Chain A
């Protein structure tokens, strides 16, 4: 079994797993949210997503938080 430093090894492994797992869950939940919005066809909370960028913007994002793309619904 592990010696008296084993706790540090386990901590390193667990923290790494938790952070990477958390980041993966965050990405998957954002993907799911965006897919739902596309299916509904209403960009109601693009601002909250923080990534709203007009497609076809050849020179980068227009309105980094997508506010410009939001329309009253």
Chain B
């Protein structure tokens, strides 16, 4: 029931956010309408970071307690995080082309984000393919180590000279005008609710798969 409510809430909020992006957001003085991509790209990145923080916490908890619930949470958050990071890379590329004149640059922000994507892909592969039932343990270790890259991605545009603008959210953010903040917060809430919904669905899939695997044949 809660999962279904989350689904409807995320649909409604994402719809409002998309309408706001297209109808209410004002074009940027320099970038024109291309700047509207901020309302998709930044919330996606925020949710990806949130997802990997959840993986980190779940991984630590799993290694301490060995409870399968923590492993399921980490796995679900990692998979959803990889989907969101893929979209961060794609929307960033779509934004970069009209502004930088190139789809991709080996810029510190982009490169560290790509590394982040590969690291969590490694988490999923280790969990799926490690032999002897050790997948969740190895994956939890990868989940903890990989989280080191999250603050590096976030601060890369502060630490190094980069094409990418400074963060628009969080402690290292440049000050924003109020009209961008309102819509950005709406998009942020919408994508966060969607994240929670997808993680719950993914965990449900894992739980049912375990029950199916444990069910006696022909029962």
Are B208 and A31 touching (Cβ within 8 A)?
yes
Interchain CA distance A49-B205 in the complex, whole Å: 10
Q: Is the CB of B210 within 8 A of A2?
A: no
A10-61 residues at the B interface, CB under 8 angstroms: 11-13, 15-17, 19-20, 23-24, 27-28, 30-31, 34-35, 37-38, 41-43, 46, 49-61
| Size band of the interface chain B makes with A | 35 or more
Nearest CB in chain B to that of A66: its residue? B213
- Given contacts A20-B87, A27-B202, A54-B214, are A8 and B135 in contact (CB under 8 A)? no
Interface residues of B in 46-64 (CB under 8 A from A): none
Contact A19:B217 (CB < 8 A) given known A9-B33, A31-B205, A38-B212:
no
Residues 178-219 (chain B) with a chain A CB within 8 angstroms: 194, 198, 201-202, 204-206, 208-219
Least CB distance from B70 to A in Å reads 11
With A and B bound together, what is the CA distance between A37 and B195 in angstroms?
Answer: 27
Interface contact A5-B91, CB-CB below 8 Å: no
Task: List B contacts of A56 (CB < 8 A).
Answer: 214
Question: In the complex, which of the residues A9, A63, A68 contacts B36, with contact meaning CB atoms closer than 8 Å?
Answer: A9
What's the minimum C-beta distance from B196 to chain A, rounded to whole angstroms? 13
Chain A CB within 8 A of B161 CB: no
Does B159 count as interface, using CB distance less than 8 angstroms? no
Q: Establish whether residues A8 and B218, one from each chain, have CB atoms under 8 Å apart when the complex forms.
A: no
Residues of A within 8 A of B (CB): 2-6, 8-9, 11-13, 15-17, 19-20, 23-24, 27-28, 30-31, 34-35, 37-38, 41-43, 46, 49-64, 66, 68-73
Task: List 29 A–B pairs whose Cβ atoms lie within 8 Å, in order of A's numbering.
Answer: A3-B27, A5-B32, A8-B94, A9-B22, A12-B37, A12-B90, A12-B91, A15-B90, A15-B94, A23-B83, A27-B205, A28-B201, A34-B212, A37-B215, A38-B211, A42-B219, A46-B209, A51-B213, A55-B213, A55-B214, A58-B66, A60-B71, A60-B137, A61-B133, A62-B133, A64-B133, A64-B135, A69-B215, A71-B217
